[in-house]
Chain A
């Protein structure tokens, strides 16, 4: 296979194929859930499952990362949620969380 035009780009057919497979796998994940929901028959049960899904995704992402990330991560997550609860301003809450984790990490937590 001719690959003299690949060399200036510093790449190879193998690397290109790997990148394409990675991209395809990712796109499949992006499409998969939407495609699946197009083809599942709607039911009250499915509707309830989908209703519980966004919060469950968030919890399943945040809680383990908070536990795994040590005290700085956990405290920052709690501070951000408290600020959101009190102020209902998401930008402010994000800023509070980021400042908290940056300060705590600087202090060596």
Chain B
């Protein structure tokens, strides 16, 4: 929970940037808020703006849906990685709380679980807070438009990558356990060069997981 707070300024600028982008693209405030409230996934929302239409056909609806799916496909793997925690929650509670699943509370959850935390409320509480903030900042972003700073000027676009990189350190379990990471790094860079979009995350992560599966059982003293 403690870590949700330092993440908020960056997330607020991002949410406001989406609001500003939505206004620029001609979405109504109602549509921008629906996007933040229902889709609730920053990268996918921003990408979807590029495909936004004034008149929707079957084709353009399908296209935007597939692109959003592709951007968010990484969450399939993230959910699998935290499955041992999710399965401790009752089914109803789990299906509700997964709606609040984002990069931010995933990485916080990985860390929390690693440190021995088992309270599922941490995940839900962090998710509710992020959802409320995300939805609310869409409004000033939409209304103030040009006054919202470009996230890139202050490096706000790097909040999630930096927090991800920081969280890697406590996950370090010796050289043998890092072999899948090396494979993931190489594969993701290659895929990034070859394929447009966010496929590099999913392919790289899968390559790392498969490497992990093929390796012999880790020796405790490595």
Query: Which residues of A are interface residues toward B (Cβ below 8 A)?
Result: 9-12, 14-34, 36-38, 44-46, 48-69, 72-73, 76-77, 80-81, 83-85, 88, 90-91, 93-95, 97-98, 101-102, 104-106
Contact B161 A17 (CB under 8 A): no
How many interface residues does B have (CB within 8 Å)?
101
Contact A81 B169 (CB under 8 A): yes
Distance of A23 Cα from B40 Cα, bound (Å): 8
Known: A11-B31, A48-B215, A60-B205. A22 touches B166 (CB 8 A): no
Contact A30 B75 (CB under 8 A): yes
Contact A18 B56 (CB under 8 A): yes
Q: Which residues of B contact A24 (CB under 8 A)?
A: 65
Contact A23 B38 (CB under 8 A): yes
Given A16, A25, A54, A66, which contacts B81 in the complex, CB threshold below 8 Å? A54
Distance in angstroms from A42 CB to nearest chain B CB is 10
Main secondary structure of the interface of B (DSSP, over half): helix
Q: Which residues of B contact A67 (CB under 8 A)?
A: 189, 192
Which residue on B lies nearest to A78, using beta carbons? Answer: B165
Known: A11-B30, A48-B217, A53-B81. A59 touches B38 (CB 8 A): no
Query: Which residues of B are interface residues toward A (Cβ below 8 A)?
Result: 2-3, 6-7, 10, 27-31, 34-35, 38-41, 44, 48, 53, 55-57, 60-62, 64-66, 68-69, 72-84, 86-87, 94-95, 98-99, 101, 107, 110-111, 152-155, 158-171, 177-178, 180-181, 183-185, 187-189, 191-192, 200-215, 217-218
Distance of A60 Cα from B184 Cα, bound (Å): 6
Distance in angstroms from B189 CB to nearest chain A CB is 6
Contact B201 A61 (CB under 8 A): yes
Most chain B beta-carbon neighbours within 10 Å: one of A61, A66, A68: A61
Q: Which residues of B contact A20 (CB under 8 A)?
A: 38
Distance of A19 Cα from B53 Cα, bound (Å): 11
Contact A52 B39 (CB under 8 A): no
Distance in angstroms from B178 CB to nearest chain A CB is 8
Known: A19-B35, A60-B201. A31 touches B98 (CB 8 A): yes
Distance of A16 Cα from B56 Cα, bound (Å): 10
Q: Which residues of A contact B94 (CB under 8 A)?
A: 34
Distance in angstroms from A2 CB to nearest chain B CB is 17
Q: Which residues of A contact B205 (CB under 8 A)?
A: 53, 56-57, 59-60
